[in-house]
């Protein structure tokens, strides 16, 4: 009889956990995955990436029709919002994809242990009434919304991202607390559907962590679209009365308070790792000051046989980062070499235009040495111009001596798709010249990346 019930037991079936489970099973390991949700796929498929993109896509099409953008192309339509149907297609998208993971589990013979898992020891996990053992345990429990003291989420008037995806009617005034990725994506959804949106951000600029030029330009574009910003401002309290919220805000540095009324408030000030209830102490696993589980480059924790991936470990809280770590951890457990290059993880904000980046910001690159920067405006890109998408630019940052590309940043309608080529180039150690001399199809938005790379040496053609 085998010493353990499973070769690998994964706790959490988000992009980190479910991908790890499938890869482990593909590699011939006897694999189980513990998940407490009714459906697989974690935050990303159930209440994150997928439902938000379903609402972003639908609301963008509505906005194009309602705002007269389509009429300018000769497409005249009487437009009416059917929010129920819009929500329905979101629910269908989630159902289809989460069901798809269940199918993949069956196909690959991954056992789904339904329930909440907690450690008994480093090789034993309790799931409901069941106790299972495994040679290797991967913690992939993800993250959840960071609460804001003084502001209680009731999912009616004051909502988190999950509630904001499901609002039953368009609020007249939506206040978003936090000018990060969630605030701007979901703020954009409701702005397009007719809400007045005010974003309250603690810092002096939105989108922390992104390149400064990108942050400034994005702020300008969102303002032009009608989103109001209160930067360097903190929310100190929120009260709900007669179905409306009254927020008290004051300058981040201190000063006179003011009140803002809202029909809905979205709290989006970040996410924190899920370790509560896991009984990590029983396994001997510790968390750092930010509540994360630290691992080495192979995703091993300090406890032999216990591994961790995804939002619960340090690094950007992104689905594709979790997925790549999921593959790598399974390969490492199987005795292969699983590697993730954390220096080249693209990030994308799926607004219109999209905002994307990979590698270092200009400030980060300059802190490391001398750099050369090439910039190219989307206004000068033939396809963007033809499609009436003039906003944004591409910026390529290269090492001044070696010309190696250190970072690429884009604001463009399809920046999320464009950034993949930059990530691939950087993964291969490309120079800006490599990109500049790579033939790009015409007319495409991606030509802007080529021209920005040409601009690094001062030789773009179309500007
Ligand atoms: P999760 O997806 O959080 O999955 C963890 C799973 O573990 C959950 O299903 C949870 O129920 C389960 N679990 C936790 N503890 C236990 C336990 N003890 N026992 C059993 N099960 C447990 N990222 C992108 O890259 N692109 C996007 O467009 C994007 N959009 C987003 C939009 C929103 C609104 C949000 C909130 C997030 C978005 N993200 C996006 C982030 C992305 O969802 C996360 O980075 C990703 O889901 C992390 O994957 P994970 O596997 O680490 O954890
Ligand atoms: P975030 O970290 O992106 O942004 C939070 C913002 O809130 C920051 O700008 C921060 O300065 C601000 N803030 C913090 N405390 C505040 C306060 N008290 N008052 C006002 N502002 C305050 O976090 P967000 O948007 O909640 O998203 C969480 C995570 O989910 C992100 O780390 C992101 O990686 C992931 N995500 C990714 C998406 C994507 O890849 N497209 C989409 C949505 C989420």
Ligand closest to 326 (CA) is 1
- Closest residue (by CA) to atom 40 of ligand 2? 348
Confidence of residue 2 (pLDDT cuts 50, 70, 90): confident
Distance of alpha carbon 48 from alpha carbon 417, whole angstroms: 19
10 Å Cβ neighbour count for 107? 10
Q: What is the pLDDT of residues 424-462, one digit of tens each?
A: 999 999 999 999 999 999 999 999 999 999 999 999 999
15 within 8 A of 326, measured Cβ to Cβ = yes
- Closest residue (by CA) to atom 4 of ligand 2? 180
Report helix, strand and coil shares of the chain as percent, to nearest 5.
35, 25, 40
Give domain 347-456's CATH number out of 3.30.390.30, 3.30.70.1450, 3.40.47.10, 3.40.50.720: 3.30.390.30
Mean pLDDT, residues 276-280 taken together: 97
Q: What is the pLDDT of residues 28-67, one digit of tens each?
A: 999 999 999 999 999 999 999 999 999 999 999 999 999 9
Q: Which CATH superfamily is domain 158-269 in?
A: FAD/NAD(P)-binding domain (3.50.50.60)
Ligand closest to 13 (CA) is 1
Q: What is the pLDDT of residues 134-164, one digit of tens each?
A: 999 999 999 999 999 989 999 999 999 999 9
| Closest to 125 (Cα-Cα) out of 280, 21, 17 | 280
Per-domain residue ranges of the chain = 6-145+272-333, 158-269, 347-456
Mean pLDDT, residues 247-263 taken together: 96
**Please, which residues bridge with residue 377 across strands?**
393
What's the mean per-residue pLDDT of the chain?
97
Q: Say which CATH class 6-145+272-333 falls into.
A: alpha beta
Percent of the chain, pLDDT > 70? 100
Confidence (pLDDT) at 1: 67
Mean pLDDT, residues 77-90 taken together: 97
| ipTM at complex level | 0.99
Mean pLDDT, residues 249-254 taken together: 95
Residue 442 falls in the annotated catalytic set: yes
> Which entry of 297, 342, 388, 442 is annotated as an active-site residue?
442
| Closest to 261 (Cα-Cα) out of 164, 171, 152, 155 | 171
Tell me the longest C-alpha to C-alpha distance in the chain: 72
Confidence of residue 253 (pLDDT cuts 50, 70, 90): very high
Q: Is the pTM of this model over 0.90?
A: yes
Q: Is the pLDDT of residue 359 over 90?
A: yes
For ligand 2, the distance from its centroid to the CA atom of residue 279, given in whole angstroms, is 27
For ligand 1, the distance from its centroid to the CA atom of residue 36, given in whole angstroms, is 13
Q: Which residues line ligand 2 (CB under 6 A)?
A: 148, 177-183, 185, 200-203, 208, 234-235, 268-271, 316-318, 347-350
Same fold, 6-145+272-333 and 347-456: no
- Say yes or no: CB of residue 311 within 6 Å of ligand 1: yes
Q: What is the pLDDT of residues 62-81, one digit of tens each?
A: 999 999 999 999 999 999 99
């Amino acid at each position: 009889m085998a010493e353990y019930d499973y070769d690998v037991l994964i706790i959490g079936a988000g992009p980190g956990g479910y991908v790890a489970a499938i890869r482990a099973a593909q590699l011939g390991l006897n694999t189980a995955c513990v998940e407490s949700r009714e459906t697989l796929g974690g935050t990303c498929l159930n209440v994150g990436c997928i439902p938000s993109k379903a609402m972003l896509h639908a609301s963008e099409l509505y906005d194009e029709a309602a705002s007269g953008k389509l009429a300018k192309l000769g497409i005249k339509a009487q437009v009416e919002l059917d929010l129920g149907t819009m929500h329905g297609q979101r629910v269908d998208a989630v159902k289809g994809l989460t069901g798809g993971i269940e199918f993949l589990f069956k196909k690959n013979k991954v056992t789904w242990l339904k329930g909440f898992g907690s450690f008994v020891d480093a090789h034993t996990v309790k799931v409901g009434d069941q106790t299972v053992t495994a040679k290797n345990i991967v913690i992939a429990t993800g993250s959840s919304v960071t609460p804001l003291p003084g502001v209680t989420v009731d999912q009616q008037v004051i909502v988190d991202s999950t509630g904001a995806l499901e609002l039953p009617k368009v609020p007249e005034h939506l206040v978003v607390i936090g000018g990060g990725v969630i605030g701007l994506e979901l703020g954009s959804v409701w702005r397009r559907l007719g809400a007045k949106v005010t974003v309250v951000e603690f810092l002096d600029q939105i989108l922390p962590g992104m390149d400064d030029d990108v942050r400034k330009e994005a702020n300008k574009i969102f303002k032009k679209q009608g989103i109001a910003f209160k930067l360097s401002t903190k929310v100190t309290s929120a009260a709900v009365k007669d179905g409306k919220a009254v927020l008290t805000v004051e300058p981040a540095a201190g000063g006179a308070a003011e009140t803002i009324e809202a029909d809905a408030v979205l709290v989006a000030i970040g996410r924190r790792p899920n370790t509560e209830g896991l009984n990590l102490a029983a396994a001997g696993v510790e968390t750092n000051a930010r509540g994360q589980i630290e691992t080495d480059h192979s995703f091993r924790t300090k406890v032999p046989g216990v591994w961790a991936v995804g939002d619960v470990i340090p690094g950007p809280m992104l689905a594709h980062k979790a997925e790549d770590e999921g593959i790598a951890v399974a390969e490492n457990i199987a005795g292969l070499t699983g590697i993730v290059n954390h220096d080249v993880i693209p990030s994308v904000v799926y607004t219109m235009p999209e905002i994307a980046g990979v590698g270092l910001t200009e400030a980060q690159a300059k802190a490391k040495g001398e750099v050369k920067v090439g910039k190219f405006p989307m206004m000068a890109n033939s396809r963007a111009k033809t499609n009436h998408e003039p906003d944004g630019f591409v910026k390529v940052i290269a090492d001044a001596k070696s010309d190696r590309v250190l970072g690429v940043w884009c604001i463009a309608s399809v920046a999320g798709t464009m950034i993949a080529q930059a990530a691939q180039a950087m993964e291969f150690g490309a120079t800006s010249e490599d990109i500049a001399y790579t033939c790009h199809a015409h007319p495409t938005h991606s030509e802007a990346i080529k021209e920005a790379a040409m601009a690094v040496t001062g030789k773009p053609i179309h500007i």
